[in-house]
Amino acid sequence: MFSEFMRSGRFDINALACRLSVDVLNALLPPVCPVTDEPVASARSLSVAAWRKIRFVDAPFCARCGAPFAVDYGADAECAACVADPPAFDRARAAVVYDDASHGLIVGFKHADRTDLAPLLAGWLARAGAGLITPASVLAPAPLHPQRLFARRFNQSAILAQRLALATGAVFAPRYLKRLRPTPSQKGLSADQRRRNLAGAIGPGPEASAGAHVIIIDDVMTTGATLSACARAARKAGAARVDALVLARAMKDGAVLG
């Protein structure tokens, strides 16, 4: 490895130290896949079996919420749920389906300090948001209340948004939105309970500006209640358009829509 740095024609002691640190860490704690626990080449890698398990969301899907369709109904087709009760955002897209495989990956990233996975996951977001993101887009992570941020130590949505901004050239605005009050966990709540739980809990932050194309960034979309609450806050700040981009979206029984 040392000879590689010398042959390159420039010797960067910082780069060499960083490379040595990574190699030593990998030797002491061999990296494993966060989905299958199989040995992998690097901490940012997935095993072959994991890649086979991950279900990426591709067209056809609902033009509004991005829910995958089993049949192509046309580019402008919306699912029955969006027609009956339109969400507050204009469009939402997801990188993968939220199932057993992606659950392990996201839980590792969110709760097991696997922030090293951020570049990989942000790449998936960039792929899913290819039709949404422009250099003028404002990437606004779903905010955490300071109490929850202190307990968790980082906002996973903000990390994803920052990495996505680096990959796409879009504007990273971590304080575009803010939590106005703490809320109980959404886990286990119905769609109506989630909406009531978030009523008045999210508002414009100090970076909010009128006329922007805002893209809300979050890790998982279940009913869309959080994204809609964020979208309403962005519109209150005068956003011209509000889209949403999530790492994974839950589907009823893991199935696509017929």
Cβ burial, residue 181 (10 Å; 0-12/13-18/19+):
exposed
Quick: pLDDT tens for 219-252: 999 999 999 999 999 999 999 999 999 999 998 7
DSSP 134: -
* pLDDT 10s digits, 3-18: 554 444 454 555 444 4
Segment 83-102, tens digit of pLDDT:
999 999 999 999 999 998 89
How far is the C-alpha of 171 from the C-alpha of 164, rounded, in Å? 9
Domains annotated for the chain, with CATH where assigned, are: 56-254 (3.40.50)
Pairing of strands 202-204, 177-179: antiparallel
Q: Is the model more confident about 160 or about 27?
A: 160
Q: Which of 70, 62, 68, 69 is nearest to 90 (CA)?
A: 62
pLDDT value, residue 258: 47
| Full-model pTM | 0.84
Residues 6+ apart with CB under 8 A from 185: none
Any idea what the Cα angle at residue 103 is, between residues 98 and 105, rounded to 5°? 120
Q: What angle do CA 205, 210, 211 make, to 5 degrees?
A: 135
**DSSP string over 50-69:** HHHH--B--SSB-TTT-PBB
User: Could you tell me which residue, 111 or 60, shows the higher pLDDT?
Assistant: 60
Exposure on the CB side of residue 117, measured as CA atoms within 13 A? 26
What digits encode the pLDDT tens for the residues 52-80?
Answer: 999 999 999 999 999 999 999 999 999 99
Structure tokens at 99: 């199932």
The pLDDT tens digits of the residues spanning 150-202 come to 888 899 999 999 999 999 999 999 999 999 998 877 888 788 888 888 888 89
